[in-house]
Amino acid sequence: MAQRTVTIASSVGLHARPAALFVEAASETGLDIEIGRPGEDAVDATSILGVMALGATHGEEVVLTADGEGAEQALDSLVALLSRDLDAE
């Protein structure tokens, strides 16, 4: 299982547009991907309700995990996505 830690760059955190863009990108990988705060239960990264309920805010660290072929590359692209202010684009 691949794992990455990333700091949320979006000024509004993972809410509304940034969450939707993240969920769309996670879904396009076709992999089982989860997102959560370090040390807490993770949620399905392809669930908009799960991601928004996480309530991850700007500057907060989250942990991404993925399982399957191409997991390392998928997480790298998702880390790059979350490292940008998606609400400013």
* pTM, entire model: 0.94
| In the chain, domain spans | 2-82
Q: Which residue has the tokens 């390392």?
A: 72
pLDDT, one tens digit per residue, over 32-68 is: 999 999 999 999 999 999 999 999 999 999 999 999 9
Q: Is 88 exposed, middle or buried (0-12, 13-18, 19+ CB in 10 A)?
A: exposed
Query: What's residue 3's pLDDT?
Result: 97
CATH code linked to domain 2-82 = 3.30.1340.10
15 in active site? yes
Q: Indicate which residue of 10, 13, 15, 65 is catalytic.
A: 15
